[in-house]
Chain A
Amino acid sequence: MSERSYRALSLVAVVAVAVGFGFAMAAPPERIQGEFAKIMFVHVPSAWLAFLAFGVTMIGGAVWLMKKTPIWDRVAASSAEVGVFFTALALLTGMIWGYPVWGTFWDWSDARMMSTAIMFFVYVGYLALRRSIPDPETRARRSAILGIIAFVQVPIVYLSVTLFRTLHQGATVVRADAPIDPVFLRALMINLGAFTIVYAAFMAWRVRLARLEDELEETEAVADFDIAGSGITAPNLGEVPGDV
């Protein structure tokens, strides 16, 4: 991708978010929750994008294990970082919404909140593991395995509202008889599209940065490597005494 493509993608992401924000603000207040319901337009896409990001991390790790191509490790790592960002955003917006609507920022008995928080910390651990391993191949292999194991969290978080009947509402949008007003659904889908473009932009920049980091690492490794050790100087092949 050229420099112009990166900038164009970023611009499209900014425009998409602005459009999404416009649709969210234009939606009428919800009958019971009022304006607070509009947090949903950030909360739900963030949670879905986190699932997508962690799915990409798992796929990236699995493909790296099969092909051993560095790009897949970069994709997996970048997606995990972006996924952690979206998970944090989903948790934060959920808590902001929860206080006026549920009366509390955090509900300990809520399966969705608890499982999402666990998922967040599992992927924070994934990123911490990556930072702890200097060797690129060992780092890629171990984090690929952890990325595959960690993905188990995603269906648990998704199904938590079905398996446990706690405070968080059940699946709404994916149901055939979706109990959501078409105006809200449209705004939600537009924001989901906008967040997906933001994810793509974040990924493009982060993968590029990861490639540059790898190149820098390689350059520094070569520069630091003294042939035969620094105690030996190269022979002088200039003038040889007695040579005519």
Chain B
Amino acid sequence: MKAGGFWQQAKEIARKDLLVEGRAGEALYITIPFGAVALMLIPLAIGTDRPLLAEVGPGMFLAVALLFGMLVAFRQTAADTPPQRELLTLLGTDPAAKFVGRTATSTLLLLAFEIVLVPVTILLYNPGRIPNWPWLILVMVLLAGGLALVGTLAGSVTTGLRTRNTLTPLLVAPLSMPLLLGSAQVVEALRREESILPWITLLATMNLAVAVIGVVTARPLEESSR
């Protein structure tokens, strides 16, 4: 990889991550089916009352997207080994570009994850038509982006730790609660045909804030992983 400009570096990192993920298929063949199975298990736990399932369906989709989306965000294929980290450092890769590139890949994978879960949720829960539903596409994008940002940031904090796989969800879950809250409230507001602007603003602000924090802290976190 040549040391180009910031965006060129971010693009190359994203491309590399997508390539690795394409070869390993960790998100596609493991996490996505796992999420679909979770959506099937929930009705068995809470009962098969159809009106109840239709009511809770969108919420279950969001909860599964968040909890299993975490597995997509800090998948093993997004973790660099020490030699890979050293190589990227020697190539002069900007840590912030690495953060942006990795987040971009995770966002794409999380969007794919959500796109697969939507029909599964509709088929299993039959939630009915939500008024102005195209707004939910924006919610899905903001949820995927936010979760990718928080996941990548937490992944940077836990780089190289033996407890990475268990510690990262503990860091990500509470920090991503505003994403779940905002997304769920958009669904409720659409159902009641109320304004969704405050909740979209919350999601967008969360995305922006974590993006800024991620870019600013990228270098010190990179230095601590050497």
> Could you list which residues of chain A lie within 8 angstroms of chain B, going by C-beta atoms?
65, 114, 118-119, 121-122, 124-125, 128-129, 132-133, 137-138, 141-142, 145-146, 149, 152
Contacts and interface: CB of A to CB of B under 8 A. Distances in A.
Q: What is the predominant secondary structure among interface residues of chain B facing chain A?
A: helix
Given A118-B177, A122-B175, A132-B161, A145 B170 contact: no
B153 to A, nearest CB: 8
B120 interface: no
Contacts of A145: 157, 217, 220-221, 224
A129 B220 contact: no
B158 interface: yes
Contacts, number: 52
Interface in B135-184: 153, 157-158, 161-163, 167, 170-171, 173-175, 177, 181
Given A121-B174, A125-B167, A128-B167, A138 B158 contact: no
User: Taking each of A124, A137, A138, A152, which has the highest tally of chain B beta carbons within 10 Å of its own beta carbon?
Assistant: A138
B213 interface: yes
A65 B219 CA distance: 12
B3 interface: no
Q: A-B pairs with the 4 shortest C-beta distances?
A: A121-B174, A141-B224, A132-B163, A125-B171
Contact of B167 (A118, A121, A129, A138): A129
Contacts of B162: 132
Interface residues of B, number: 22
Interface of B: 153, 157-158, 161-163, 167, 170-171, 173-175, 177, 181, 209, 213, 217, 220-221, 223-225
Contacts of A65: 220
30 contacts: A65-B220, A114-B177, A114-B181, A118-B175, A118-B177, A119-B174, A121-B170, A122-B175, A125-B171, A128-B163, A128-B170, A129-B157, A129-B167, A129-B171, A132-B158, A132-B161, A137-B224, A138-B224, A138-B225, A141-B220, A142-B157, A142-B221, A142-B224, A145-B157, A145-B224, A146-B171, A149-B153, A149-B213, A149-B217, A152-B209
A202 to B, nearest CB: 24
B161 A133 contact: yes
A122 B174 contact: yes
B224 A121 contact: no
A133 B160 CA distance: 9
Contact of A132 (B167, B174, B213, B220): B167
Contacts of B177: 114, 118
Contacts of A118: 174-175, 177
Nearest to B174: A121
Contacts of A124: 170
A99 B170 CA distance: 29
A125 B209 CA distance: 20
Contacts of A137: 224
A149 B158 CA distance: 14
Given A65-B220, A138-B224, A141-B223, A121 B173 contact: yes
Contacts of A114: 177, 181
Contacts of B153: 149
Nearest to A111: B181
Given A132-B158, A132-B163, A152-B209, A125 B224 contact: no
Contacts of A128: 163, 167, 170
A118 B170 CA distance: 11
Contacts of B170: 121, 124-125, 128
A149 B154 CA distance: 11
Nearest to A140: B224
A122 B213 CA distance: 16
